[in-house]
Structure 1
């Protein structure tokens, strides 16, 4: 029997009796988890949540955890503005609670509030809240070991560590969001107590220091103003020194620094700052020597390739010509015996070639290497583990993608040559070998592979040479305009390909009248229809 709202109201009111709290919280937790979202919202509206918050004023860890389990679903149903208006004091007070589970809960709720409204974010941007967040990123309050602790408390300790890590991640997310606001940036001014607190917490461990680096890179990447504020703190300089360090250094720490530098380089203002600081030149020298050390090759090389891939995506001609160690190492890595390294190199080539300028730069400066790469990509699509096969197909799709205004003679020729070069014509093969390769993946019983392969056809369906290929490759148009017991996402992807093909003004130059009729009928049927004749459709599920 469904529990009434009155039942919940009565149980929460009984929490004022401290001796019954554990039993009542357990009952409430079970009952709340059984509610659907609509009922949960209705129940929450009339509950005095302050009584549940009062249960947190306890040294009983189980009671605190149960109270958190009850509060989280209830708070998540409250509209952000109402949440802050009604419970701002108790929530901000809970930020300093010794329980990491509770701190994680309120930090996640504050993240929801901040994302909802810039005005609400400004309300939360207070120095004392920032200091509490910084402490949580640092792993929470430093407390002494409880005397006489028994061995059977190990499981509880492991759970607390997980809760602390979860709270730390929520604190990072909240600080990133608050730090990108005008008031948040103002609090990061040089000489502020926040910077002193960050420095103090950063000294606790490498892991904690990199949590703060992550926050600062996120703020710096958000806007030129954010970058300026973070640069003034000088934390970026410390991070860059760690990334460029030579000799006896912690390889994993350096790899983390390089990963964050790649993120900083993603926006144009970040890439410009990195250029000004001479970071790319220093890292290019490191890249040229990376194979001298096995550990560096395993951990640092992937991050170096990703870094140069990011700036190469923004300025492909300049990066490929200025830092020759990058393309040389990139193409060499595709012959590696390490599958993960191959995946990084493959994704990096495709990321640089995603834009029209990237395609032109790769073709004009490294035409022979790209021809070899496309043949290698055709092999990798078949032999790699499934996640990397999906990545390879996504990369192929990005190399084939051209906006309408980019479809000039040069770029159309480049993309067609690359696609055809993926499965070069051999004895016994056909001129459609590359299309047949991708089509064969569409027929495999793996949804993620089917979707990735269909994305390739979506990319070429708006290109004149792609339309000719679809029209002439035996069985390909039929494959794209039929449903064979596929799930919804695959149906929608096939429909998207056909709709894009039909909507292109150049399609009629390639498809016959009967093919156009089939295409029009299929598109008219929609993703939930099916063809039952050349111009007839039925809707699946209809009688």
Structure 2
């Protein structure tokens, strides 16, 4: 096979229209295992294929790209940069996007190889071309450029090159191309800053992070909304949150929430502000965040009562996030009647809201009601039971009715609510005292989709995980649940299977 590849390479260099030969070469290369191809490519050069990229014939260029993808994958990243540096450089500025993506992918490979990365970082032309690729119209090209630069910034040398050399000017020049491109650069810098305190230091000193923070209070509300998303990403890391704290960002965002009431366009960025604090509360503790920034909690309650589905949806997601921790549950409970009103609103939405809001509501309810075994103190069990009983006079029936509706997201959402309460003794007592409920759990004919079967199995497992289940549910129910668990989520009884076959 190696001999046939050699002969094809010779033929390609001799013919004027090499499409047929290129197709044969592509087929031959794909038929050889990559491990066997490595030995062949190490002893041969493929400049002829690179030269054929300089063509207006689309089919020819795309065949060359397919061939080079295979060949370069068989080369080590160090071989690629040492043997094909000029070709790589040309590929980064090629008019065809598939060629650019090929070249950028190889840069990404080199970034993950210590010796090859050094070679790339010492090539100002390659780095400059990769930076300018961020501004390409084709999003795939831009994304590949961002990924490659992110990888190259994984070392101190890479950080020095990108943020303390004249390449920083290239990066800032690219940012002036337009709003979309500027935010691509922010995406790159925020991603790098999130890696570690050292990376954040370089990003902060470059001035680009400071520029992002000024966008928070800019005149363009759409830009403001995007800036909030980026800043939220910075807050995902502990060192990022410390940086934002030093820069006064939390107080700035808190003030923006206060001022949102007088801004007719606040609906465009307010959800982002609330999500920021929701994530902050989840990571740094709900009590601290809600005490330091009370406007956040008040705004979440206010949004939950809103008529705008977008506002309500964000409020539900945030409440679920807050209430997923014990501390968050206690913070919400302390608000007394305010949170009771929100729970009643959630009950109303769950029963009669739009399908998407109902699903998000069920997800929030399951998070609010979940308690791990070690969290099940007398006080917390009383808290979750009191919340559940607020939803309806007969909350088990209410949630079961929702689970029978022909929407998978509602069916599974309702089962997740049951899974949350099934691990708690009061939930088990309610279930076993509700007529027909144990039969509903054990009935495999409801919910035929995989996700529904998985959700039902989780419910059964949650019941059986509780030490109080055997006593409360009774031996007959307990044994039946054990059989269900042993048979697995997708079990079909022999009788049911025969009945199904007969119906076909």
TM-score scaled to structure 2, two decimals? 0.83
1:132 aligns with 2:129: yes
1:286 aligns with 2:256: yes
- Greater mean alpha carbon deviation, residues 403-412 or residues 8-17: 8-17
User: How far 1:257 moved relative to its partner?
Assistant: 0.9
The equivalent residue for 1:84 is 77
Provide the C-alpha distance between the structure 2 equivalents of 1:19 and 1:400, rounded to a whole number of angstroms.
72
Give CA-to-partner distance per residue, 1:494-516, whole Å, 9 cap, x none.
22332232233332232210111
User: How far 1:377 moved relative to its partner?
Assistant: 2.0
Provide the C-alpha distance between the structure 2 equivalents of 1:462 and 1:138, rounded to a whole number of angstroms.
53
> 5 Å matches for 1:49-198?
50=46, 52-68=49-65, 74=70, 78=73, 83-84=76-77, 87-88=80-81, 89-90=83-84, 92-93=88-89, 94-108=91-105, 111=108, 119=114, 122=117, 126-128=121-123, 129-139=126-136, 161=137, 164-189=138-163, 191-198=164-171
Provide the C-alpha distance between the structure 1 equivalents of 2:113 and 2:330, rounded to a whole number of angstroms.
41
> 5 Å matches for 1:383-462?
383-421=352-390, 423-425=391-393, 430=394, 433=395, 435-462=396-423
User: How far 1:414 moved relative to its partner?
Assistant: 2.5
The answer as to whether partners of 1:258 and 1:303 remain within 8 angstroms in 2 is yes
C-alpha change, 1:424 and 1:45, in structure 2 (3 Å) is: same
C-alpha change, 1:184 and 1:406, in structure 2 (3 Å) is: farther
Provide the C-alpha distance between the structure 1 equivalents of 2:2 and 2:431, rounded to a whole number of angstroms.
60
The equivalent residue for 2:323 is 353
Provide the C-alpha distance between the structure 1 equivalents of 2:485 and 2:345, rounded to a whole number of angstroms.
35
Provide the C-alpha distance between the structure 2 equivalents of 1:440 and 1:40, rounded to a whole number of angstroms.
57
User: How far 1:492 moved relative to its partner?
Assistant: 2.6
The equivalent residue for 1:146 is none
The answer as to whether partners of 1:244 and 1:283 remain within 8 angstroms in 2 is no
User: How far 1:61 moved relative to its partner?
Assistant: 4.2
The answer as to whether partners of 2:133 and 2:145 remain within 8 angstroms in 1 is yes
The equivalent residue for 1:223 is 196
C-alpha change, 1:53 and 1:402, in structure 2 (3 Å) is: farther
Give CA-to-partner distance per residue, 1:72-91, whole Å, 9 cap, x none.
6x479x58xx5525544548
Number of aligned residues: 488
The equivalent residue for 1:363 is 333
Provide the C-alpha distance between the structure 2 equivalents of 1:43 and 1:522, rounded to a whole number of angstroms.
47
The answer as to whether partners of 1:188 and 1:230 remain within 8 angstroms in 2 is no
User: How far 1:168 moved relative to its partner?
Assistant: 0.6
Provide the C-alpha distance between the structure 1 equivalents of 2:455 and 2:94, rounded to a whole number of angstroms.
49
> Aligned match of 1:379 in 348, 356, 360?
348
C-alpha change, 1:480 and 1:123, in structure 2 (3 Å) is: farther
Provide the C-alpha distance between the structure 2 equivalents of 1:27 and 1:437, rounded to a whole number of angstroms.
66
> 5 Å matches for 1:248-287?
249-287=219-257
The answer as to whether partners of 1:108 and 1:170 remain within 8 angstroms in 2 is yes
The equivalent residue for 1:510 is 472
User: How far 1:196 moved relative to its partner?
Assistant: 1.6
Segments of 5+ residues of structure 1 without an aligned counterpart are 140-160
- Greater mean alpha carbon deviation, residues 405-414 or residues 345-354: 405-414
Give CA-to-partner distance per residue, 1:308-329, whole Å, 9 cap, x none.
2122222311221222222222
- Greater mean alpha carbon deviation, residues 487-496 or residues 338-347: 487-496
Give secondary structure in 2 for the equivalent of 1:19: coil
C-alpha change, 1:461 and 1:224, in structure 2 (3 Å) is: farther
The answer as to whether partners of 2:108 and 2:147 remain within 8 angstroms in 1 is yes
The answer as to whether partners of 1:502 and 1:520 remain within 8 angstroms in 2 is yes
Give CA-to-partner distance per residue, 1:17-66, whole Å, 9 cap, x none.
5533345557888x79xx9xxx8774895597946544323344453245
> Aligned match of 2:458 in 460, 482, 496?
496
User: How far 1:373 moved relative to its partner?
Assistant: 1.8
C-alpha change, 1:468 and 1:542, in structure 2 (3 Å) is: farther
C-alpha change, 1:503 and 1:332, in structure 2 (3 Å) is: closer
Provide the C-alpha distance between the structure 2 equivalents of 1:449 and 1:9, rounded to a whole number of angstroms.
61
Provide the C-alpha distance between the structure 1 equivalents of 2:183 and 2:378, rounded to a whole number of angstroms.
48
TM-score scaled to structure 1, two decimals? 0.78
1:482 aligns with 2:443: yes
User: How far 1:120 moved relative to its partner?
Assistant: 7.9
C-alpha change, 1:42 and 1:10, in structure 2 (3 Å) is: farther
The answer as to whether partners of 2:254 and 2:296 remain within 8 angstroms in 1 is yes
C-alpha change, 1:539 and 1:71, in structure 2 (3 Å) is: farther
The equivalent residue for 2:217 is 244
- Report the aligned-residue RMSD: 3.7
Give CA-to-partner distance per residue, 1:379-433, whole Å, 9 cap, x none.
3334444444333332222222333332222332322222332x232xxxx3xx2
